[in-house]
């Protein structure tokens, strides 16, 4: 499954001259500052840095120098607080640089915090839950509306709403998304299921390796069944032979297989299909046996 991409726009676009409601002034010309006079932002939400990646960046800096300047603001004690580029600053220290190219900006504490949060959620290595948590922090700590937030992160309001919806999913779904077991599309589909059924949808999705489309179909099936889907053999307290039968059938069909036993000992086996073409595929697979 694909990992989520970064949010796309840089801090210059977000906090520059686009008419947004921040009080930051334009950047100064690039200058060089002693690296010892630069300090990290104490409210920086990012606390952990990949050590191996820092070493690789330090090697690159030794060879090519710092290609992209760090953005800072001047503190009252004469030092400079990092607005964006702490990773570059850390790697430059490892590369034994004495000075660092910087842009100096004039921002207040509130805007500094907002800029740090936005830069954090723009990182390329974030998963959807981390992005959602960053957006929620911007809403809570910077007192933004969802409309203002969508402007600042360069995303449509509907995309922002989709990210924030993820935080209402069960912890198990959020964990699967963080660990890359689900994509954003899977999580969106699961969010559309009734709350009482979301964990069951997650389990089926992971066990059967459902695609986003198949997950959406499963959620639609739930909606058509009034929010309650038939239990499969591995969810009911059925004899072990029922589970073995489902496993054998799953070797023939990629569709959802369900067994329902009646009180008199009989029952039925249900094979879901999405369209006529899938019925033809089922027939072809039976011919192969």
Per-residue model confidence as pLDDT tens for the chain (289 residues): 444 433 334 444 333 333 334 344 455 568 999 999 999 887 665 667 788 989 999 999 999 999 889 988 888 888 998 888 888 999 999 999 999 999 888 776 666 667 767 766 666 567 788 888 888 887 887 788 888 888 877 778 888 898 899 999 999 999 998 888 999 899 999 998 888 889 888 988 888 888 899 899 888 887 777 655 555 544 445 566 766 777 777 666 656 677 777 777 788 888 777 778 878 877 887 777 6
CB within 8 Å of 197: residues ≥ 6 apart:
222, 227, 228, 229
C-beta pairs of 74-80 under 8 Å, 24+ apart in sequence: 74/104, 74/106, 75/39, 78/37, 79/37, 79/38, 79/39, 80/33, 80/37, 80/38, 80/39, 80/104
Domain with CATH 1.10.10.2830 in the chain: 168-224
List 32, 48, 51, 86, catalytic entry: 86
Domain with CATH 3.90.1530.10 in the chain: 11-155
DSSP characters over 228-243: -PPPPTTTTT--HHHH
pLDDT attached to residue 8: 38
Tell me: domain 11-155, CATH 2.40.50.840, correct? no
Quickly tell me which residue has 């053999």 as its tokens. Answer: 233
Q: Give 168-224's CATH code, choosing from 3.40.50.720, 1.10.3720.10, 1.10.10.2830, 3.20.20.70.
A: 1.10.10.2830
- State yes or no: is 86 an active-site residue: yes
Cα of first residue to Cα of last residue in the chain, in angstroms, is 31
pLDDT attached to residue 146: 87
């Amino acid at each position: 499954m694909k990992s989520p991409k970064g949010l796309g726009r840089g801090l210059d676009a977000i906090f520059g001259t686009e008419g947004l409601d921040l009080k930051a002034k334009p950047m100064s010309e690039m200058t060089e500052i002693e690296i010892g006079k630069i300090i990290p932002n104490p409210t920086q939400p990012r606390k952990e840095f990949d050590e191996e990646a820092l070493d690789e960046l330090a090697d690159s800096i030794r060879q090519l120098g710092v290609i992209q300047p760090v953005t800072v603001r001047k503190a009252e004690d004469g030092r400079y607080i990092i607005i964006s580029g702490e990773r570059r600053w850390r790697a430059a220290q490892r590369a034994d640089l004495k000075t660092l190219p910087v842009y100096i900006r004039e921002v207040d504490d509130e805007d500094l915090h907002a800029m740090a949060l936005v830069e954090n959620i723009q990182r390329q290595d974030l998963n959807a839950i981390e992005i959602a948590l960053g957006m929620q922090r911007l809403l809570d700590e910077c007192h933004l509306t969802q409309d203002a937030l969508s402007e600042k992160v360069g995303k449509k309001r509907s995309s922002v709403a989709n990210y924030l919806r993820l935080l209402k999913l069960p912890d198990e779904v959020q964990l699967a998304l963080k660990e890359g077991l689900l994509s954003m599309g899977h999580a969106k589909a699961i969010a559309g299921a009734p709350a009482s059924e979301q964990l069951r949808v997650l389990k089926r999705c992971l066990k059967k390796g459902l695609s986003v489309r198949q997950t959406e179909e499963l959620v639609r099936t739930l909606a058509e069944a009034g929010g309650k889907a038939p239990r499969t053999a591995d969810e009911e307290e059925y004899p072990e032979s029922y589970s073995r039968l489902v496993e054998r059938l799953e070797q023939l069909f990629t569709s959802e297989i369900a067994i329902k036993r009646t009180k008199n000992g009989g029952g039925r086996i249900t094979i879901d299909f999405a369209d006529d073409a899938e019925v033809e595929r089922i027939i072809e697979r039976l011919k192969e046996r």
